[in-house]
Every structure is written in structure tokens, then in C-alpha cells.
């Protein structure tokens, strides 16, 4: 698999003066909202609310840093196991986020893309998401990918199912299956390769997020809880990325 290298940071645009390599595609597992709230004696929803604010700030910062694609893990397929009241709170926050921020995001030239089976959400949420995708489809400045009801194993399983169906109807020979064949069936198809995967809150797991796509990504784990992650935290992460020596299995 060929990975186009991360390109050089435009110093003028970022004001960083670092001259390092800017990742083209950054993904974040936004973890720690509940603990942030708990430490303040607040309900979990307060952490999620603050988490949305952090997400908004980080989207802006990513654009300013010249990151082409930012992928945020907002709701995993495992999150259904949370109490119904928390799921309802998260859905309400998602509704509010789209209603409040869609026009601003559209105006900033951001294209919204969603990975995951969001069609399983309530119909009004699905409509809002579809509207956000359609409204921003022609934008080219940067892409915000929101992972909603996403699970990587399911994504890969679905890809395998489609490939098997192509083989069964004689459209594809097993000998012709390559990593590109699989990649073409993933929901991230067409996006630049994942360069940097960040997880907040001190947990050091991928939790079923972008397992295939993370093959050559740099992994960065920070103790910062997601609601405290800000533009400066992202800049620091990019600076650490720029120091890493990516060898893709070579020397």
C-alpha cells in the first residue's frame, strides 16, 4: 500500500514556524467526558456538553493547522450499552450540534462526512445528518469525518461480505484480491491515509476504531481528558507527530 507522505506545514498559515510535517489525516478517540464531569461533581452530560465545545474548537484548529481530514469518534457501536438516558442525551447533543454549527462549518469550507451505521439513529437525527452531508458536499477546504455508530470490525466484515459477493457472481477472482480491494469497500474510501491517531484520557486502546486504517498511523495517547483538549493540545500533538520517524517497515 502506498501512503502519500504527510506534507510540510505551511508556516505562514499556522504561525507555528515549526516547519515540520503536518499530518494530512488525524483521527481522535475523544475519551474522558464522564470522568471530567465526575471530578467536578457534575452529571455525565455536563462532560459531553463540554466535549462538544472541545470538538468545535479542535475542528477550527485543525483547519488552521492545515490538516486536510479530521475524523472524530463521536459514537461507537458499543455505546448502545450505555444507559438509555445517556444515549438520549448524546443524541440531543448531536441534534443541537448540527443545528447550531452546520452553517458555520459550511461557511468555513468544511465538508462533513459520516462513517458508521447512523441510519440506525432516530429518523429526525438521520435527516439532520443527511442534510449536513448534502449541505457541505461541495466544500473542499477540509473534511470533518464524524464516526457515528461506527465499529471497525463490522466495517471490515461488511467489506469482506461485499468482496465475497463479487467473487460469487464471477466479477472478481480471489487471486485478484489485494489490500486496495478491501480498502475500496471501507467507509473511509477516498480519504488520505490516516497519519495520526490520538486518544485522550490516558486509555491506551483502539477500541474498535479504524483498525485497518491505523496500519501505519502514528499513535498518540495523552492523559488530557477530552473536554480539556484544546487548540494548543492539538498543536502539541502535531509537533510530536513531526518528530516521529515514520519508516513504513523500511529502514
Residues in touch with ligand FPP (CB under 6 A) = 30-35, 48, 51-52, 55, 72, 74, 79, 90, 93-94, 97, 146, 201
- State yes or no: is 208 an active-site residue: no
Nearest to 51 by CA among 225, 251, 232: 225
Q: Who's near 152: CB < 8 A, 6+ residues apart?
A: 206, 208, 209, 210, 211, 212
Minimum distance between the CB of residue 230 and ligand FPP, rounded to whole angstroms?
A: 14
Strands of the chain (E only): list them. 7-8, 21-22, 25-29, 69-76, 110-115, 142-150, 196-199, 218-221
Minimum distance between the CB of residue 80 and ligand FPP, rounded to whole angstroms?
A: 11
Minimum distance between the CB of residue 114 and ligand FPP, rounded to whole angstroms?
A: 10
Q: Which of 11, 33, 79, 176 is catalytic?
A: 79
**Which single residue brings its beta carbon nearest to ligand FPP?**
34
Q: Are 148 and 179 in contact (CB under 8 A)?
A: no
Cβ nearer to ligand FPP, comparing 87 with 211: 87
Q: Who's near 236: CB < 8 A, 6+ residues apart?
A: none
Q: Which of 10, 11, 31, 92 is catalytic?
A: 31
In the chain the first and final C-alpha atoms are separated, in Å, by 17
Q: Are 86 and 45 in contact (CB under 8 A)?
A: yes
Cβ nearer to ligand FPP, comparing 16 with 75: 75
Minimum distance between the CB of residue 93 and ligand FPP, rounded to whole angstroms?
A: 6
How many of the other CB atoms lie within 10 Å of CB of 115? 22
Cβ nearer to ligand FPP, comparing 14 with 77: 77
- State yes or no: is 33 an active-site residue: no
Minimum distance between the CB of residue 243 and ligand FPP, rounded to whole angstroms?
A: 28
Which pairing describes strands 69-76 and 110-115: parallel, antiparallel, or unpaired? unpaired
Tell me which residue has cell 473542499. 140
Cβ nearer to ligand FPP, comparing 20 with 227: 227
Q: Are 221 and 199 in contact (CB under 8 A)?
A: yes
Cβ nearer to ligand FPP, comparing 225 with 242: 225
Task: State the catalytic residues.
Answer: 31, 79
Amino acid at each position: 500500500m502506498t501512503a502519500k507522505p504527510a506534507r510540510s506545514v505551511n508556516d505562514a498559515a499556522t504561525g507555528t514556524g515549526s516547519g515540520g510535517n503536518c499530518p494530512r489525516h488525524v483521527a481522535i478517540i475523544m475519551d474522558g467526558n464522564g470522568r471530567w464531569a465526575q471530578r467536578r461533581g457534575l452529571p455525565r452530560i455536563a462532560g459531553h456538553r463540554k466535549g462538544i465545545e472541545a470538538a468545535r474548537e479542535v475542528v477550527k484548529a485543525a483547519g488552521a493547522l492545515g490538516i486536510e481530514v479530521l475524523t472524530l469518534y463521536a459514537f461507537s457501536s458499543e455505546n448502545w450499552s450505555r444507559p438509555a438516558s445517556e444515549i438520549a442525551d448524546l443524541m440531543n447533543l448531536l441534534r443541537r450540534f448540527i443545528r447550531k454549527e452546520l452553517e458555520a462549518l459550511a461557511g468555513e469550507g468544511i465538508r462533513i462526512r459520516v462513517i458508521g451505521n447512523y441510519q440506525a439513529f432516530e429518523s429526525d437525527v438521520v435527516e439532520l445528518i443527511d442534510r449536513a452531508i448534502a449541505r457541505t458536499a461541495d466544500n473542499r477546504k477540509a473534511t470533518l469525518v464524524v464516526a457515528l455508530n461506527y465499529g471497525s470490525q463490522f466495517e471490515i466484515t461488511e467489506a469482506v461480505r461485499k468482496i465475497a459477493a463479487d467473487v460469487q457472481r464471477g466479477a472478481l477472482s480471489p487471486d485478484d484480491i489485494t489490500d486496495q480491494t478491501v480498502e475500496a469497500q471501507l467507509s473511509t474510501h477516498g480519504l488520505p491515509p490516516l497519519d495520526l491517531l490520538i486518544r485522550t484520557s490516558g486509555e491506551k486502546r483502539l477500541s474498535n476504531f479504524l483498525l485497518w486504517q491505523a496500519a501505519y498511523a502514528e499513535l498518540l495517547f495523552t492523559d488530557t481528558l477530552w473536554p480539556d483538549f484544546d487548540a494548543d493540545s492539538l498543536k502539541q500533538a502535531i509537533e510530536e507527530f513531526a518528530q516521529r520517524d515514520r519508516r513504513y517497515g523500511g529502514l
